Amino acid sequence: MTTLYVYPDSAPDRGQRVEDSAEISRILAEAGIGFERWDAGRTLPEGADQEAILEVYGEHVARLKRERGFTTADVVRLTPDHPQRAEFREKFLDEHTHSEDEVRFFVEGSGLFCLHIGDQVLGVHAEAGDLIAVPAGTRHWFDMGPAPHFAAIRLFTNTEGWVANFTGDKIARRFPMLDELPGSAQ
Ligand SMILES: [Fe+2]
């Protein structure tokens, strides 16, 4: 189940857990974060490659390209035994921003997006069916956990613009990681 954790940015131990999907959407919308639930009932074909996954969600991807001006879509997929899983996890685990929106639609598994907005940290434990759109300039980090299991469609307006600009703030290391969330299976 998609879960949101709301923390004061100075108190990682005072997270409030929100499970109600309407409430999650409301809190994220208020914070300027795009959040959509798409039909998660679609089963991916066994061993589906990037093209097959994009085909399954073709209508949604086309709509987002139209509405938000994206030019490119691809699929990133990580499995628990991926040989570079530790390296990939580290890459986005510190607070950073991008000069364009970061849009991810989870088609399989789950991951933790943490958004640092004002004096709050919003931790979105996103799962298959969730689309999250982090506006350009928003401080955030992403944790795929020590044994990553997710596939996500990524949408870009300019792949060259999508570079992580690290803030140098080690805030991410003070907050619960994916495998430390209450009830985490990882
Ligand atoms: Fe990012």
The predicted-structure confidence for 37-60, as pLDDT tens digits, reads as follows 877 566 777 778 889 989 988 988
Q: Cα of 116 to ligand 1 centre, how many Å?
A: 12
Q: Cα of 47 to ligand 1 centre, how many Å?
A: 27
Does residue 106 carry a pLDDT above 90? yes
Residues 140 and 156: their CA atoms lie apart, in Å, by 17
Residue 107 belongs to domain with CATH number: 2.60.120.10
Q: How many folded domains does the chain comprise?
A: 1
Q: Cα of 56 to ligand 1 centre, how many Å?
A: 25
Residue 13 neighbours by CB under 8 Å, 6+ apart: none
Domain annotation covers residue 185:
no
pLDDT in tens, 110-130: 999 999 999 999 999 999 999
Q: Cα of 23 to ligand 1 centre, how many Å?
A: 24
Count CB neighbours of 50 within 10 A.
14
Tell me how far CA of residue 30 lies from CA of 14, 27, 56, 81, in angstroms. Answer: 20, 5, 31, 38
CA-wise closest residue to 131 among 179, 73, 84: 73
Domain annotation covers residue 94:
yes
- Mean pLDDT computed over every residue of the chain: 90
Domain annotation covers residue 81:
yes
What is the pLDDT, as a whole number, of residue 41? 61
Does residue 3 carry a pLDDT above 90? yes
Are 3 and 19 in contact, with CB atoms under 8 Å apart? yes
Domain annotation covers residue 155:
yes
Amino acid letter for position 69:
G
Domain residues for 102? 3-180
Domain annotation covers residue 68:
yes
What is the pLDDT, as a whole number, of residue 185? 52
Q: Cα of 118 to ligand 1 centre, how many Å?
A: 18
Residue percentage of the chain with pLDDT more than 90: 68
Angle at 9 between CA 162 and CA 21, to 5 degrees: 75
